[in-house]
């Protein structure tokens, strides 16, 4: 299952990506908001998408103006590995090596066609496991042991 969400700065790109994933890629995708260009707080959307990704063992796509704020917020949820990607190589490698479960994009910094290509790469690339699993496990351990 794929979950997508955005704040007002990512609304237009979210709609393009939603239609691309549903229409051209023919994948199931659930829109978690926002549903207009009205101002919303990106941490709220990041939380809803992140929790859905974890509960359903899915993947997510988050979009705000730059992708930075929403990715920071998503990464505060234990179990989330959200990567802000601005090109296909990073999207491919974060899936292969980091088992990222959420992709972040900048609605005001990434063109539609490039964003579609990044999304396609992210959604069609799998985790390699092997030596990378140890590193992902260490990330999980950091979450569990962080008490500051």
Alpha-carbon distance of 123 to 134, in angstroms, equals 22
Q: Is 97 a catalytic residue?
A: yes
Alpha-carbon distance of 113 to 15, in angstroms, equals 13
Alpha-carbon distance of 63 to 42, in angstroms, equals 9
Is the distance from CB of 64 to CB of 38 less than 8 angstroms?
no
Catalytic hit among 6, 34, 64, 85: 64
Is the distance from CB of 12 to CB of 23 less than 8 angstroms?
no
Q: Which are the catalytic amino acids?
A: 64, 97
């Amino acid at each position: 299952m794929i979950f997508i969400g955005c704040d007002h700065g990512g609304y237009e790109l979210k709609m393009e990506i939603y239609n691309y994933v549903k229409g051209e890629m023919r994948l199931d995708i659930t829109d978690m908001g926002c549903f207009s260009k009205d101002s919303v707080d990106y941490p709220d959307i990041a939380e809803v998408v992140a929790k859905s990704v974890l509960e359903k063992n899915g993947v997510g796509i988050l979009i705000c103006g730059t992708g930075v704020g929403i990715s920071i917020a998503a990464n505060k949820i234990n179990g989330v590995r959200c990567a802000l990607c601005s090109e296909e190589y990073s999207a491919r490698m974060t899936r292969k090596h980091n088992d990222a479960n959420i992709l972040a994009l900048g609605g005001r910094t990434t063109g539609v066609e490039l964003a579609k290509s990044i999304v396609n790469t992210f959604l069609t690339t799998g985790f390699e496991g092997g030596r990378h699993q140890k590193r992902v496990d260490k990330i999980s351990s950091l979450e569990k042991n962080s008490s500051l």
